[in-house]
Each structure stands twice: as structure tokens, then as C-alpha cells.
Structure 1
Amino acid sequence: MSPSSRPDDRLASVFRFATELVAWIATPWALASRSVPLAVLSVVVLIGLPTLLSTPGDKRNVIVAVPGPVTIALVLVQLAAAVVAAWVAWPAFAAVPVTVLAAITVVLELPRWRWLASR
């Protein structure tokens, strides 16, 4: 793989999507008892920002182009939201697997993040 070519992240994308899905569910769940508008806003942010902002070459359709580190930060926000919200909203037997899922995602994302960091 040349330094400019995007790494194959098919496996990482499965784990990344699974973690995003958890974030989309757990975050509003954790926030709903405190503020329903905040719970709704969390979903808008967690889904909307990564849809709107992307690094050229990382996705086919780029609406608003951002540098690679912004894309990395968006993924980290999703991962953190999934883990923190799972621990706040759910019992440990559900939060532990989410934490493991996020950790595996980080490891699998590293080649993509190295590539994105150069963008």
C-alpha cells in the first residue's frame, strides 16, 4: 500500500458502525431522563455531523470537506459517547461489551487514522 492510498477498512467499518449504532441508542437513552431536547440533540449531532463533515477520499460523497484529524475526532466522539452512555444508562453486563467493542474499534481504526492524519 502506498502512503497515499486509503487502507482497506472493511472490518474496521463494521466495528465502527456497530459502535456508532450503540452511541445513537445509548446516548439519548442516558440523557432522556435529564432532558428530552438534549437527548434529541445528541442524536442529531451524532448522526448529523459525520454525515455532513467528511474527509475527501474517505467517503464517496463529501458534503463539507474537512481535514482528516476532524474525521478522527468525530469517530472518537462516537466511541466516547457509546462507552460513557452505556455505563450511565445500562447495567455493567451491557456496558462491558460496549467498552470492549469500542476498544476493538480503536485498534482496527488505527491504519485508517494514520492515513486520515496525513490528509
Structure 2
Amino acid sequence: MDRPDDRPDDRVASVLRFTTELIAWVATPWALASYSWVLAVLSVVVLIGLPTVFSTPGDKAQVMVAVPGPVTILLVLLQLAAAVTAAWAVWPVWAAVVVSVLAAATTVTERRRWLWLLRRGV
């Protein structure tokens, strides 16, 4: 169902996206910690900070720095890639497979939102 402002309202997509983001926030610093604690901390700053600061108007209630829709899509893809890559680096195969399937499902369920974001300029 669409909201009055035509933004897709898909709870399943939101839950899958948030779950994948949480995995990225945990697994990425875990994977980087063996190389450098600075990189581990920096990964959290990037994965949480960038989407918090940069967002597309209408996609979030509050926008700090407005960016076009494709930038928001790239930030989501960054989260998905980080979650999958880090899961394969540090977790057992069965867990990495689950994360990969979750990321694929997120990509499929995000289609409507991404199409909406592609039409959004700043």
C-alpha cells in the first residue's frame, strides 16, 4: 500500500533491510578487528553514520543532508555488501549462507522503494 506522498510502505522490506543493516554493523567490525581496531571502529562510523547523515527527502522523517535517491540506494547496497562479505569472512558457512539469502531477499523486497527513490531528486 502506498502512502499519500506515493512512497511505498512495505513493512517486510523494512524489516529485512534493518536486519541486514544490524548484521553489517556487527559482522563488519568483527571481520576488520583482526586487522585493525581503527578500521573496525571506522566501519561502524561509515555504516551507521553515512545513512544517518545522508538521506533522500521523503524517505526519512528527518533529513540532515539531502541526497538524490540513487545515493540512498548505493548506501543500502553498501550495507548489503558489507553484511555478506563480513559474514563469509568471520562466521560459519551456514550463517554466511543465511546472511546471503537475507541480503538477496532484501534486494528483491526493496524493488518498489528503489524505483521510487530513482524518481526522487534533491
TM-score using structure 2 length: 0.94
Alignment partners' CA distance in 2, 1:59 and 1:11 = 17
- Aligned equivalent of 1:90: 91
Letter matched to residue 83 of structure 2: A
Alignment partners' CA distance in 1, 2:97 and 2:116 = 30
Alignment partners' CA distance in 2, 1:117 and 1:76 = 14
- Aligned equivalent of 1:24: 25
Query: Which residues of structure 2 form unaligned runs of 5+?
Result: none
Alignment partners' CA distance in 1, 2:10 and 2:36 = 36
Letter matched to residue 69 of structure 1: P
Alignment partners' CA distance in 1, 2:16 and 2:6 = 21
Deviation at 1:10, TM superposition (A): 1.6
Alignment partners' CA distance in 1, 2:74 and 2:89 = 22
2:50 is the alignment partner of 1:49 = yes
Q: Which has the higher contact order (CA 8 A, sep 6+)?
A: 1
Query: Sequence identity of aligned pairs in percent?
Result: 71
Letter matched to residue 55 of structure 1: T
Alignment partners' CA distance in 1, 2:50 and 2:17 = 15
CA RMSD, Structure 1 to Structure 2 (Å): 1.2
Letter matched to residue 56 of structure 2: T
Alignment partners' CA distance in 2, 1:9 and 1:43 = 26
Deviation at 1:73, TM superposition (A): 0.1
- Aligned equivalent of 1:35: 36
Query: Which residues of structure 1 form unaligned runs of 5+?
Result: none
Structure 1 consecutive aligned stretches of length 4 or more whose deviation exceeds 3 Å: none
Letter matched to residue 7 of structure 2: R
Secondary structure at the aligned position of 1:7 is classed as: coil
- Provide the aligned length of Structure 1 versus Structure 2: 118
Deviations along 1:43-87, one digit per CA (max 9) or x if unpaired, are 000000000000000000000000000000000000000000000
TM-score using structure 1 length: 0.96
